[in-house]
Amino acid sequence: METWMKIEDVCKYLQVPEKWIRSKIRQNTIPFHDSHGILRFNQQEIDDWMRVPSPPAAVHGSAQVADEGRDTKIAINDRIASDLYVYRGTPIKEYLLTASVILTGHSSWMRLPDFIERSVGKTKELNRPYLFREEFKPLIRNYNDYLRVCCWLGVFDKKDRMEYDLRRKYYIPNQYAGKIAKEDGIEGAKSIIIDSILNIVTSNKETIPEERCAILLLWLCLKIKTSGKKPQERDFFKDTDKRGNSFPRIRLNCAASLCHFLFDGDTKKEREFLSKWEQHM
């Protein structure tokens, strides 16, 4: 049976201060799991990690040089991991890959169909096919994130300006949004979102003219999972990321939660969807 520990348990187990453990987490040098916003450590993985000797200092035995060497090694490993995945002839890390910090949990994605339904209802109430950005505000908390994701998933069409008002952006819930609004159950909404994603890929619109970030993150997550591996933070690292920032973690959590929302952990469905996806690439 696996033994899982909190950070304070690991500190006590290794007899080290919490600050030291957290620095290893930032450097991604200690094995840890950050799932559903819960940070945990596997005792067996910690034991195996402790048995691996630290690399010697390269210059003058300096501790600082040793730390810098480890940081460099980590950065190289991150770069290698992200270079393994190529989308339409371009390394995945070279795309925008913006993620939503709000949509990094299953419950947040579960609210998406209701937001879409409310948006469609609002257009009918106003007797026009579009809504201005500020008109979404009463519909859901963090409406800006949901707006972006709806555009990424292809259920909203974003327009930068109108002929008579060049300052205001507006959004059109399209045919996929209309279908979702008519669905009674969550499963039907998921199926329509999947159809919308495939439509974007078939039309070659996930990268041009505006990158569909959530879609590319989903592809990366599926690509890693169907290869038999578990997606890790380093797989979502970009060369432009500063060491220790939270961007790779946010990308990972956003992609993993979207994947879980659409497929409920069903690996067969994930493989079938990825196969259809790549037939159109």
43: domain CATH number is 1.10.1660
**Dihedral class, residue 262 (left if φ above 0, else alpha if ψ from -120 to 50, else beta):** alpha
Residue 227: the pLDDT is: 87
Residues 46, 112 share a domain:
no
Largest CA distance in the chain: 74
Residue 69 lies in a domain: no
Q: Determine the number of helices (DSSP H) and then strands (DSSP E) in the chain.
A: 12, 8
Residue 276: the pLDDT is: 94
Residue 78 lies in a domain: no
The answer to whether the peptide bond before residue 209 is cis (omega within 30 degrees of 0) is yes
Residue 64 lies in a domain: no
Domain that holds residue 10: 1-53
Residues 95, 10 share a domain:
no
pTM, whole model, 2 decimals?
Answer: 0.69
Residues 37, 148 share a domain:
no
Beta carbons of 145 and 103 less than 8 angstroms apart: yes
| Tally of residues, the chain | 281
Residue 89: the pLDDT is: 83
Beta carbons of 29 and 41 less than 8 angstroms apart: no
Residue 163: the pLDDT is: 56
Residue 35 lies in a domain: yes
Handedness of CA 278, 145, 38, 84 (dihedral sign): positive
Residues 259, 130 share a domain:
yes
Per-10-residue mean pLDDT for the chain, 281 residues long? 86 89 79 77 84 50 43 45 74 86 88 96 94 92 91 89 64 95 93 96 82 87 91 87 83 94 94 93 78
Residues 31, 97 share a domain:
no
Residue 67: the pLDDT is: 46
Residues 48, 123 share a domain:
no
Residues 173, 231 share a domain:
yes
Residue 82 lies in a domain: no
Residue 160 lies in a domain: yes
Give the number of domains in the chain.
2
Residues 240, 171 share a domain:
yes
